[in-house]
């Protein structure tokens, strides 16, 4: 079997098309949908929950939600927990990734608290950012979130996954991220079930690296299919 991406992530309106296209190609890669007013999360709770349900109905098996940053910035931790519980319920069987939008949360202590709340509320993954903020996935923020994941694991035995998104463009960058996970959490987390990188142009660069490994030559962008 070949090496593939872990999922294809699309806006809620495109889920149907994506599912159809992958089925036609005979590919079993899951479709993930962003939801809850991606990327800013500034819509009514009612519509946000409805978005999740519709995406799941259309065939998305993974949902990426954005937390309500107002609740973090005003310290309403219980309200944040309740909201994420509702997202969890709306997802049903679908895999839930909670985007913290760390660039907007202020100090790192807030990032840590938000991470723990997201995990306590039942997220399968915590994700650094939407990729649309000014500051996306940086190493300091990542270390805080990874340590939160480790603390949660030590206290409860539950493993939660991690996904950085935004600003990761080259295979070299992705190696730095892989090393970080390996150092902080260990080899058990180095699987698609527990670690994903959210990126689009990264795919081409990884393909070029594999091309080089196999043939000994550097490929041009046009030697490989567009992603």
User: Pick from 16, 40, 54, 210: which binds another protein (CB under 8 A)?
Assistant: 210
Q: Which of 68, 72, 66, 40 is nearest to 52 (CA)?
A: 66
How far is the first Cα of the chain from the last one, in angstroms, to the nearest whole number?
Answer: 20
Stretch that binds another protein, among 47-55, 68-76, 86-94, 182-190 (CB under 8 A): 182-190
- In sequence order, the 6+-apart residues with CB closer than 8 A to the CB of 16 are 58, 59
Q: Which is nearer to another protein, 57 or 183 (CB)?
A: 183
- In sequence order, the 6+-apart residues with CB closer than 8 A to the CB of 136 are 103, 128, 129, 130, 164, 165, 166, 167
User: Pick from 44, 213, 225, 226: which binds another protein (CB under 8 A)?
Assistant: 213
Q: Does 154 bind another protein (CB under 8 A)?
A: yes
Q: Which of 124, 116, 114, 37 is nearest to 88 (CA)?
A: 124
Rounded Cα distance between 161 and 99, Å, is 12
Active site residue 182: no
Q: Shortest approach of another protein to residue 106 CB, angstroms?
A: 9
Q: Which of 201, 195, 199, 192 is nearest to 129 (CA)?
A: 199
Rounded Cα distance between 134 and 72, Å, is 18
Name the active-site residue from 46, 163, 172, 182: 163
Active site residue 163: yes
Q: Does 183 bind another protein (CB under 8 A)?
A: yes
Q: Shortest approach of another protein to residue 214 CB, angstroms?
A: 5
Q: Which is nearer to another protein, 40 or 178 (CB)?
A: 178
Stretch that binds another protein, among 27-35, 74-82, 106-114, 124-132 (CB under 8 A): 106-114
Tokens 């159809």 correspond to 20
Q: Does 143 bind another protein (CB under 8 A)?
A: no
Strands (E), 107-210: 125-127, 161-163
User: Pick from 23, 27, 139, 186: which binds another protein (CB under 8 A)?
Assistant: 186
Q: Does 220 bind another protein (CB under 8 A)?
A: no
Q: Does 225 bind another protein (CB under 8 A)?
A: no
Applying CB under 8 A, the residues found at the interface with another protein are 1-3, 107-109, 154, 178-179, 182-183, 186-187, 190, 210, 213-215, 217
């Amino acid at each position: 079997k070949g090496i593939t991406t872990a999922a294809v992530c699309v806006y809620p309106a495109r889920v149907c098309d994506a599912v159809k296209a992958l089925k036609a190609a005979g590919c079993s890669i899951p479709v993930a949908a962003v939801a809850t007013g991606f990327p800013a999360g500034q819509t009514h709770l009612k519509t946000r929950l409805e978005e999740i349900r519709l995406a799941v109905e259309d065939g998305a098996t993974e949902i990426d939600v954005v937390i309500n940053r107002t609740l973090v910035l005003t310290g309403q931790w219980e309200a944040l927990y309740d909201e994420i519980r509702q997202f969890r319920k709306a997802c049903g069987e679908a895999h839930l990734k909670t985007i913290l939008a760390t660039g907007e949360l202020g100090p790192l202590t807030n990032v840590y608290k938000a991470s723990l709340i997201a995990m306590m509320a039942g997220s399968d993954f915590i994700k650094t950012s939407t990729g649309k903020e000014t500051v996306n996935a940086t190493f300091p923020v990542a270390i805080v979130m990874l340590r939160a994941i480790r603390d949660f694991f030590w206290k409860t035995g539950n493993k939660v996954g991690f996904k950085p998104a935004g600003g990761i463009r080259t295979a070299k960058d992705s190696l730095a991220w892989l090393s970080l996970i390996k150092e902080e959490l260990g080899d058990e987390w180095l699987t698609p079930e527990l670690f994903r990188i959210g990126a689009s142009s990264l795919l081409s660069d990884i393909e070029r690296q594999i091309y080089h490994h196999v043939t000994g030559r550097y490929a041009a962008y046009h030697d490989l299919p567009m992603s």
